[in-house]
Chain A
Amino acid sequence: MASSRNTSLSRSVDRVTGGVLGLLALVSGGMVLLILWHLFAGAWPAIEAGRLGAFFTDAKWQPGSQRDPQFGIVTMLAGSALVTLLAVVLALPVGLASAIFHRFYAPPLLERWNRRIMELLIGVPSVVFGFWGLMVVVPAILRIAPGTPGQSLLAGGIVLALMILPLIALTSQAALQAVPSFLLQAAAGLGLGRARTILSIALPAARGGITTGVFLGLARALGETMAVVLVCGNIPQIPDSLFDPIRPITSTIALEMGYATASHKALLFCAGLVLMLCTALLVGWISFRKNTADSAIGGA
């Protein structure tokens, strides 16, 4: 009798606990919807006024101008895309080379310390990277190319590259480590040298993991604000050269939200929506690829 009362009591306790925890889970899982909702609410005045077309067709971004207000986001989309791509182009060769060295050539102790240091470097705040870029990289560019503003696409690319370098190096190294050892042993058995094994066996086998790292780097660089706002020069234009200033979307939001009013503010929320969509697509594509790869292995 007592035991059955106990069981029913513990069942109802479990139901309450499950309900409370389920509610917490619902809030956590629904947070992204809440964010989307608030962004939409902020952007709504611009969407309602039919400004979204001008967003992609206007050539310039001068929302505060009284005489000729223009709301083109294209220059800033280009700025974001260019600086992100430049960062990956700079970081990938160095990160991959470092990963190959530590996977195949370095003694284990060095490998372990390198990984530990890279893990710490992933945590370095982006504002510190941006500040360093402003104090060191920009003056260095001024020395190399006098007469340019210094704050430029190149400066942004270098600072972002350094920021995503540990991420790319670590994911590439993990991908190389996950290559099944029988593949490498078979290559050695066939008499292939170490360099040939790496180029023809290990790298192709690790391609998926390395690509994932590159996409994570792209998403991180695209969403980054602080590192770029300090070093890119913040002029919304399509750059003619690496030494021209640019202005990514993130910088625009950070710089203008403080004083923006009415329709200008709504447009900044639209820009935030576009940005969120881009990074969500990048990350969504990663998990989609990972799922299909997993099910391919499971099906084999």
Chain B
Amino acid sequence: MIAIAGLFGALLSFVLFAWLIRDLVRLGLPHLSWDFLSGEVTDAGRSGGIAPILVSTLGILACCLGLAIPLGVGCAIWLSEFTRRSGTAARIITGGVDLLASVPSIVFGLFGMVCFSQTLGLGFSILSGGLTLACMILPLLVRTTLTALESLPSDLRPAAAGLGLSKTTTTARLLLPAALPGIVIGITLGIGRALSETAALLFTSGYSTRMPGSLSDSGRALSVHIYDLALNVANGGAMASSSALVLLALILVVNSAAVALSEHWLRRRASAP
């Protein structure tokens, strides 16, 4: 009885997702071509391609990582190597980062609009959007880096201290290279998260479909493009489907890379003497 219910649940969830993927492929594949990937957006997105959108998306991603990696990795190194984990300061900061992880993405959008677009005067730009996303993926980077540093063999640190190495040298030359695989996986997951985000970008990076000339230009991310075509453009469904398929493919590649990396890393550690 319970076996049948379980099998039914497993089959249902599998079938539902197979249905989802099949629909997206069926709707999106007909328009997918090299011209679509390399063309300008014309007629509000009903025709043409998505080249400027892809460039904007990459720009937003670059700004996002440029802020999030130093902040997140730096925060995690400090928590793990330069302070007591059970101390008050460390606990407050960990709590703050955990709370940050619970903030809904639309709230990040509101924050980014006021803080980056208005207060800092960056306007609706690729830079504003990227910085907003950086705040959003920050908790993910802190957590994964922290886990990577904490799972290093515990005798590394006293051994380095015994050799008279400073903490700075130990961290830069010994701990960070050893923890690099974990950090790279965290960054990969962060890229996936940033690529799939829409709500935080609506009021920060803007809607412009022109090819961006610099990071201070407005630029539309791929996810925002799908949203706009589906909601605001009559007969935009076909192009939205193709864009959704491209986004889905990008995300699957990025997240599969994270999974493959972590399995490769686990296997290597398991086989190490």
Given A17-B82, A162-B20, A253-B106: A28 touches B72 (CB 8 Å cut-off): yes
What is the CA–CA distance of A138 and B10 in the complex, to the nearest angstrom?
Answer: 24
Q: B22 to nearest A CB, angstroms?
A: 10
Q: Which chain A residues numbered 1 to 50 have a C-beta less than 8 Å away from chain B?
A: 3, 6-7, 10-11, 13-14, 17-18, 20-22, 24-35, 38-39, 41-42
Chain B contact-residue range equals: 35 or more
Given A35-B135, A124-B196, A272-B110: A24 touches B78 (CB 8 Å cut-off): yes
Contacts of B104 in A (CB 8 A): 222-225, 250, 275-276, 279
What is the CA–CA distance of A79 and B161 in the complex, to the nearest angstrom?
Answer: 58
Q: Identify which of B3, B13, B70, B100 contacts A98 (C-beta below 8 A).
A: B13
* A156 beta carbon closer than 8 Å to chain B: no
B83, B103, B105, B202: which has the most chain A beta carbons within 10 Å?
B103
What is the CA–CA distance of A276 and B108 in the complex, to the nearest angstrom?
Answer: 10
Q: Which chain A residues numbered 96 to 155 have a C-beta less than 8 Å away from chain B?
A: 96-98, 100-102, 104-106, 114, 116-117, 119-121, 123-132, 134-136
* A242 beta carbon closer than 8 Å to chain B: no
Q: A271 to nearest B CB, angstroms?
A: 9
* A160 beta carbon closer than 8 Å to chain B: no
**A21–B78 contact, CB under 8 A?**
yes
Give the number of chain A interface residues (Cβ < 8 Å).
91
Q: Identify which of B19, B110, B252 contacts A269 (C-beta below 8 A).
A: B110
**B6–A104 contact, CB under 8 A?**
yes
Contacts of A283 in B (CB 8 A): 98-99, 101-102
* B272 beta carbon closer than 8 Å to chain A: no
What is the CA–CA distance of A135 and B7 in the complex, to the nearest angstrom?
Answer: 29
Given A28-B72, A119-B259: A128 touches B110 (CB 8 Å cut-off): no
Given A100-B2, A128-B244, A275-B104: A11 touches B82 (CB 8 Å cut-off): no
Residue of B nearest to A22 (CB): B78
B7, B104, B119, B142: which has the most chain A beta carbons within 10 Å?
B104
Interface of B is mostly: helix
Q: Which chain B residues numbered 92 to 122 have a C-beta less than 8 Å away from chain A?
A: 92-111, 113-115, 119
* B265 beta carbon closer than 8 Å to chain A: no
Contacts of A126 in B (CB 8 A): 196, 198
| Bitwise interface map of B from 181 to 219 toward A, beta carbon under 8 Å scored 1, else 0 | 000000000001101111100110000000000000000
| 19 CB < 8 A contacts A-B | A27-B71, A28-B100, A28-B142, A29-B97, A38-B111, A94-B13, A97-B5, A100-B5, A102-B10, A104-B6, A105-B6, A114-B10, A114-B14, A125-B251, A131-B227, A195-B2, A222-B104, A250-B199, A272-B106
Interface residues of B (CB under 8 A from A): 1-3, 5-10, 12-14, 16-17, 19-20, 23-24, 27, 70-72, 74-75, 77-79, 82-83, 92-111, 113-115, 119, 135, 138, 142, 164-169, 171, 192-193, 195-199, 202-203, 223, 226-227, 230-231, 237, 240-241, 244, 247-248, 251-252, 254-256, 259
